[in-house]
Amino acid sequence: MFKKKMELDTSLSSPKGYPIDIVQGYNAYRDEEGNLMGGFFAPQVGVGWDEPEGTAGGKMDRFPHRVHLCWFSNAENQFYQLDAELPVERMKELYKEGFRLPSADAVDHIPVGTHVTYDGIGFMMAPGGGVVAKMIAEEAREIGYFKAKKIDMPWHVFQNVTPDRIGPNDRIEWVSHSLQEKYGKEAYDEIHNHKIPFGLWDEVYRRTYPWSMHIVHPWALEKYYIQFVNTERYIVWEDQVVKERNRTGVPVPAFFGVYFITSEGKRMVGLVKFDLRKTVKLFEEYFKNTSERANLDVKVSDDLKSVEVKLVNSQKSVIVPHRLWRVSELYQDNWGFAKMD
């Protein structure tokens, strides 16, 4: 395993179209005497449920035991607060397990396939107060789900001014400006002409079903990358395929990439992307009245120009529509080899 000093960044995000403002936040760890120690978060929030970004909490050289978050949800005009113990043992387990580096790290000169591990923790805050926590790096794994409580906060406290500085319309104007500034008036109107889909990101997208990938191909499979609608993502190498098929349940796929070598020796990747909400609905319907395990059959045409994806078990077979299929040739440097002139 590639060894380097343990450093965990903390990152925050919310779904696109539903921006939040961090009022206060910190994570903390227990020292040798049991006291909570830690640091405050910077108010930097990724725009996109699957895009926790930036460094909100600085680097920690140990696992945090607790998280505190207080934020304002602009689309809901609502404050939330979360105080929660974090699953330290689960974090330690994932950190020790790590993963194989999917491509070479040119900065640290780490070759492809080296055993590395996670370097960040992401907190994703959904409308309604649901909070999903993940260990993140090139791969991402969920470590916990929490429910924040609604709180009230005087607007002048949030704005850090005296009460006489607040006008009667300041709060609603803040919400309107915040959303329009980030997304434009057209997008703002579209957001507010629809009911907020509470539970979509933190509940529906996290549901698991008894299915596994089954790639039908005549070439040499090296690995495949998969990201699910709950934003977990990982690489399955050729020698891990059987183990992966034995998982008890996983969320609905959002996209995947199949890495293979053709009979001519060309290294290729085929990418498939799905429509998130339509695919979630299809999986819900498919498994509504059955718990029988299904294969997600992926069959690529001989000329590599098309792909067919189906959910198949002993009872039924259903086409899973995709919105993108793209095949690209990969050169040696993409696979962790030195590029030759």
Q: Cα torsion at 320, 225, 276, 124 (round to 10°)? A: 160
The rounded percent of the chain whose pLDDT value lies above 70 is: 84
pLDDT at residue 16 tops 90 = no
pLDDT at 62: 83
163 vs 182: CA distance, rounded Å = 27
Residue range 104-118: mean pLDDT, rounded? 79
CA contacts within 13 A on the Cβ side of 137? 17
In the three-class reduction of DSSP (H, G, I as helix; E, B as strand; rest coil), residue 254 is classed as strand
When mean pLDDT is compared across 59-68, 85-94, 190-199, 220-229, the lowest value belongs to 190-199
Structure tokens at 59: 């680097």
| Structure-model confidence comparison of residues 147 and 21, the more confident one | 147
Cβ-contact 320, 287 below 8 angstroms: no
Beta carbons within 8 Å of 135's beta carbon, 6+ residues apart? 91, 94, 95, 118, 120, 121, 122, 141, 143
- Locate tokens 């895009």: which residue? 51
CA 17, CA 189: separation in Å to the nearest integer? 11
Give the CA angle between residues 320, 237, 234 to the nearest 5°. Answer: 65
Q: Is the dihedral of CA 44, 251, 220, 118 positive or negative?
A: positive
Written as six digits, the tokens of 272 are 């498939």
Residue closest to 53 by CA, chosen among 183, 229, 197, 231 = 231
No. of helices (H) and no. of strands (E), the chain: 5, 21
3-state secondary structure of 280: helix
Residue 98 in tokens: 């790590």
**Does position 286 have pLDDT exceeding 80, yes or no?**
yes
Say how far apart CA 252 and CA 211 lie, in whole Å: 9
For the segment 144-180, what is each residue's pLDDT rounded down to a tens digit? 999 999 999 999 998 989 999 998 888 988 888 877 7
The residue ranges of every structural domain in the chain are 9-151, 207-335
Tens digits of per-residue pLDDT, 287-316? 999 999 999 999 999 889 999 999 999 999
Query: Whose CA is closest to 330, among 273, 272, 260?
Result: 260
Q: Which long-range contacts (CB under 8 A, 24 or more apart) does 54-57 make?
A: 54/11, 54/12, 55/9, 55/10, 55/11, 56/9, 56/10, 56/11, 56/12, 56/22, 56/25, 57/9, 57/10, 57/25, 57/26, 57/27
Residue-level length of the chain:
341
Say if residue 268 is exposed, middle or buried (CB neighbours under 10 Å; 0-12, 13-18, 19+).
middle
Confidence of residue 336 (pLDDT cuts 50, 70, 90): very low
Q: Give the 3-state secondary structure of 88-99.
A: HHHHHHHHHHCE
